[in-house]
Amino acid sequence: MLTSVSPFARGFALLLALVALPLVAAEPEIELEGGTKSLRENIRQHLTLADESCKTPLWRLHALLTDAENEIAVAAQALGFYELEYEAKLRNDKECWGLDITLTPGEPVRVKEVRIEINGEGRQDDIFKSLYDKPGIKIGNRLNHGSYETLKARFGTLAAIHGYFDATFEHSQISINTEEKSAIIELVYNTGNRYRIGVINLQHDILNESFLRRYFNFAEGDYYDSDQLLELKNLYNASNYFSVASIAPNLQELKDNKVTVDMQLEARKRREYSVGAGVDTDAGPRVLLGFEDRYVNSNGHSIAADINAAEKKTNALLAYTIPMRRPAYEFLRIYTGYEKEITDTTRSYKDTYGTSYTYYQDNKWLQTYALDYEREDSTIGTDPETSTDLIIPSVSITRTKTDGNPYPLSGWTLLAKLSGSPQSLGSDFSFVQFHLRAKYIKGFSFGRILLRSELGTTQLDDFSELPASVRFFAGGDASVRGYDYKSLGPTRDFSGFTGPLENPKLADEVIGGNNLLVNSIEYDYRFEDSKWAAAVFFDAGNAANDTKIEVKRGAGVGARWISPIGPIRIDVAKALDGDEGVRLHISMGPDL
């Protein structure tokens, strides 16, 4: 279909074209040929001529072209080309000028020798050893002045980090032999004396200074090391007492080979209240309430209360925490808690009173030694409710290593716990239990793989005495997907019963087991520049009362939305054994 254009539209289009002309104005063209790409780029960056516009008169361009001779030589020598020759031709086109440069770089100068000498107190210090072993300049490589300056900067960086504040170069040069096309690098560095920690000025307003100094990883008189200052700063920031921790040497007060260290700690708000909500298909919709008093007294004691209430599972915990000798690495906790859990075949109501000692090893493993008193009223299937009183000592170790991202591409986590209940301490019966959880994540250019494993075993004389919370079950969001929460495990044993059952449903009641094994493999693919990822997975496992585990399998697909607190997962899983069908799983939280 033909349409006519009004004179006004044609005039408006012409006006737009005239206005747009300056936006596509011509620019000078500088063409370089010959040599390496890095050589051409370095010369282009050094040319003052490249900053001129099309309006620059020819007389000025010719003057700048004369100056360019030195600029080109400097740019070439910086990359080891000391015999470079070139031809430059200036063009004067109708719209703008241009410049053509043809390079003949010649044979480059190569590094023949690197001589490094360190004098002063740091002569034997291992921190400078990397300069000898890996200077970043290889014998036989083309000379690069940038690499030379980088090496020199490393001397100063190492000296500043480790307290050699008076360090300086006694001699630094590159000797060029143009005939041999070789270069000898010579660096003589005098570290002077290494400074020690002098007065430590600590500014704060909420806690005892004697308590705060228990965080110190250095003392007055120790050698200065900025890495230790950074570590201390991180410890204060992670302590939950302070919003900002500033720690720095006062380089204006260098005296008698000592440096003053100034610290300033800004307190966090003492009390905090929190309200939240969440959802998962194991427990259903839930409400989270929290309260924290970060410093009950000037010795850093704290108190916290948390409630996680859902239809199927509710937890409440009140804990009083006491920092120990090394507050950043060890603490004592006194607590009481309540837990309610209702599944299709079990009901459990448990009160806990206990104390624990937690200690971070230097290798980042977290150890917890605990002693709990648990009183539990539980119902298994159609059995009458039973009450148990157990005193349970336990020891657990855990560690998580991750790249720190909400959607990690590498890392692992492991939790191992050994617990028991000796009847000799007053428990209703004795048992010993071991429980292990592990997860591993490995990222690739085409996605990531997640491996998950869980196993457990319990040793006791009479399994029927074990309350619901101590038994093993499988199934659910974090177990074998495709099956309902804690719906997998041994059922009642009627192998010795010959008559008809009054209630046939008894044979299908899952009563839990004393052994557990669950494994999972998952592949995730995150869409480029998106907070969404797709997943496929396969889970397998079950609980049992012996080593012959009847494995139940589930597989499915899912979607992940990467939130700041970790992925929110939506999975559709198919049970591959039995008649469970397809089940939806929703969960949220960190991957590790």
pLDDT tens, position by position, 252-305: 888 999 999 999 999 999 999 999 988 888 888 899 999 999 999 999 999 999
Comparing CA positions, the residue from 112, 92, 93, 90 lying closest to residue 101 is 90
Percentage, residues of the chain above pLDDT 70: 93
Q: Which distant-in-sequence residues (6+ apart) come within 8 Å of 240 by Cβ?
A: 268, 294, 302
Amino acid at 106: G
On average, the pLDDT of the chain sits at 89
Q: Does 241 score more than 70 pLDDT?
A: yes
Mean pLDDT of 188-210: 94
What local confidence, expressed as pLDDT, does residue 456 receive?
Answer: 96
Long-range contacts of 335-343 (CB under 8 A, 24+ apart): 338/314, 339/313, 339/314, 339/315, 339/469, 340/313, 340/314, 341/312, 341/313, 341/314, 341/468, 341/469, 342/311, 342/312, 342/313, 343/312, 343/473, 343/485, 343/486, 343/487
Single-letter code of the amino acid located at 48: T
pLDDT band at 502, cuts 50/70/90? very low
Per-residue pLDDT, averaged over 8-36, amounts to: 61
Mean pLDDT confidence for 103-125? 93
pLDDT at 20: 42
Distance CA 238, CA 232 (A): 10
- Judge whether 308 and 286 are in contact, CB under 8 Å: yes
Provide the pLDDT confidence category of residue 491 given band limits of 50, 70 and 90.
Answer: confident
Q: Provide the edge-to-edge strand list for the sheet that holds 85-92.
A: 29-33, 97-104, 85-92
Q: Using the predicted structure, report yes or no on whether residue 118 has a pLDDT greater than 60.
A: yes
The pLDDT, as a whole number, for residue 25 is 57
Average pLDDT over residues 479-490: 93
Beta strand 431-444 with 182-190 is unpaired
Report, as an integer, the average pLDDT of 50-72. 87
Nearest partner of 278 among 317, 311, 319, 318, judged by Cα: 311
pLDDT tens figures, 160-189: 999 999 999 999 999 999 889 999 999 999
- Neighbouring-strand partners of residue 187: 116, 172
Asked if residues 110 and 183 have their Cβ atoms less than 8 Å apart, the reply is yes
Structure tokens given for 176:
């060029």
pLDDT at 331 over 50: yes
Most confident of 11-20, 29-38, 519-528: 519-528
479 has pLDDT over 90: yes
Q: Residues 355-379: what's their mean pLDDT?
A: 92
Of the chain, the percentage scoring pLDDT greater than 90 comes to: 71
